[in-house]
Amino acid sequence: MNNKLKITFLGGVGEIGKNMTAFEYNNEIIVVDAGMTFPGDDLPGVDVVIPDITYLINNKDKVKAILLTHGHEDHIGALPFVLAQINAPIYGSKLTLALVENKMKEHPKVKYKAVAVKPKNVLKIGAFSVEFIKVSHSIAGSLALCINTPAGNVIHTGDFKIDFEPIDGTMTDLQRFGELGKKGVNLLMCESTNVCRKGYSMSEKNVGRALDEIFKVHPDNRIFVATFASNIHRLQQILNLAEKYGRKVAFTGRSMINIVDVGMKIGEISFNRENMIDIDKIDKYADKELVIVTTGSQGEPLSALSRMAAGEFKQIKIGANDLIVFSSSPIPGNEKSVYNVINSLFQKGADVIYDELAEVHASGHACQEEIKTIHALTKPKFFIPIHGEYRHLRMHKQLAMALGMDERNIILPTIGAQIELSPNSIKKVGFTIAGQRLIDGYGIGDMDSNVLRERKQLSEDGICVVVMTINNVSGDVVGEPFIITRGVVYQDEAEAFVQDTKNMIVASLKEQDLRGCDPAIIRNTTKRNVSNFIYRRTKRRPMILTIVLLD
């Protein structure tokens, strides 16, 4: 009998984001998470990046379920595109599925089946038996998984931390991890995001205490709190403080308003709706009567807070009596954008408190001592670090070895890697097609797309358009060529540059016999000549468009 489990990594290893892993036994596949990530500066115009799911599409009849660990975008963001091609039920906590439902409203043609699960539920899917385990994270409804297979038990932690003072009153279920460890865990797959940080992560309750102190010390200020919309426990604490200090709450930012609406609908957020006001009504209240909860903690250019900082938010003008709290820390790569917004707010006279000044943010990810606790409780035979850049995975491997694990029993995964697990062995068995697909409006592309190359060329070197009219009978050039440039030369050089380019084109055309000539040949020759001329003049290679009109 075949007792080998194949694990395929489609995202979330060697990177932060677009988490997706497939577990395959015989003719059955279950998928854990379907996340996205945001594009970097090297992907101009791209909206989001999702995993390449070619492997799943090629095996779609085998896919029996998609299991969601929690509702963050890097775990559910690719679902609309996955479900459009793979018909499989999705399972997750009540909040996770509510967030999925909200997301799927933008994709009404995609039909799907969703089943809510709770901690301690056990789900039977073919040869798989999946138990859901309660974990703390920066979003409610987070779950770890114990996947029981003929190849042994596999624990997938999802994103987690060990918070001894959780807002919802229910800790990460360490007892269950310990019980599973006693029964025998063949493979542990543990997140690695904060493995480089020593000690323990800060409790979410600490953030509440810090915010309480801020509210107390600034009784007369209008208070703004910028935070992640998905951090429902943080939002609950802010709402509690607003009630405690007699302040009305206004929300800005579409994602913030949507999350609060979803949270209240399913009972994850409790607050007196009479104390919530529309952002258009804030002028009716004194500064000391208001708390404004906003998106934009990562300096996103179009977010509510960024528009306030730029003076472009119609309902709110930032001034000297405003106190803005960044209840977050900059995601790596966002630091410059965040500090630009902070500087702009200071320039408008506001006071700003951020994570370097007070304990106003707690990470949702486990630090070293919490990660060690999971290893110690589960006592796995084999180990694969997940959810992190390569440096995180490597550091996590070293941590596991320091705890006594044999290096031969640890595998560092890469995207596309396929790993085979049996009761007594683990090994890499190959690679499959994997990587990233680019979501651009309604289009889906890849890294080799001509569209991307052209956008990069336009953004770096500009464009030059040349329009020529040729008499098809005589072969003469009719009038001067018409030239438009954008992003090629500076204004004070433009007139002379355009005239010199025109002269060069006319001279080169006169050297050719154009009578009855194929316009495509004229276009290509002129394009090459203009490109070489501009490079000699500017050392740039702009996009060249040549248009030939026959008279």
What are 431-484's pLDDT values in tens digits? 998 888 877 655 565 555 566 677 777 778 889 999 988 887 777 778 889 998
Q: Which of 15, 10, 57, 67 is nearest to 37 (CA)?
A: 15
CA angle (319, 323, 328) in 5-degree steps: 130
Sign of CA dihedral 446, 448, 449, 454: positive
Q: What is the CATH code for 204-353? A: 3.40.50.10710
**pLDDT number for residue 45:** 61
Q: Answer whether residue 389 shows pLDDT above 70.
A: yes
Domain 5-199+363-445 has CATH 1.10.3720.10: no
In angstroms, the first-to-last Cα distance of the chain is 78
Q: Answer whether residue 104 shows pLDDT above 90.
A: yes
**pLDDT number for residue 538:** 87
**pLDDT number for residue 253:** 84
What are 194-241's pLDDT values in tens digits? 999 999 999 999 999 999 999 999 999 999 999 988 899 999 999 999
Calpha distance 433→257 (Å, rounded): 39
Calpha distance 487→491 (Å, rounded): 10
**pLDDT number for residue 42:** 60
Q: Answer whether residue 494 shows pLDDT above 80.
A: yes
Q: What is the mean pLDDT of the chain?
A: 90
Report which residue type is found at 442: Y
Tokens of 365: 């990810």
Q: Report DSSP state, residue 201.
A: P
Give mean pLDDT, residues 529-551. Answer: 89
**pLDDT number for residue 68:** 98
**pLDDT number for residue 540:** 86
**pLDDT number for residue 342:** 94
Residue 219 makes CB contacts below 8 A (sequence gap 6+) with 245, 288
> pLDDT > 90: what percent of the chain?
66
CATH architecture of 462-550: Roll (3.10)
Domain residue spans in the chain?
5-199+363-445, 204-353, 462-550
Sign of CA dihedral 80, 84, 86, 87: positive
Count of CB atoms situated within 10 Å of the CB of 497:
20
Q: Give Rg (Cα) of the chain.
A: 29
**pLDDT number for residue 18:** 93
Q: Answer whether residue 128 shows pLDDT above 90.
A: yes
**pLDDT number for residue 43:** 61
Q: Answer whether residue 13 shows pLDDT above 80.
A: yes
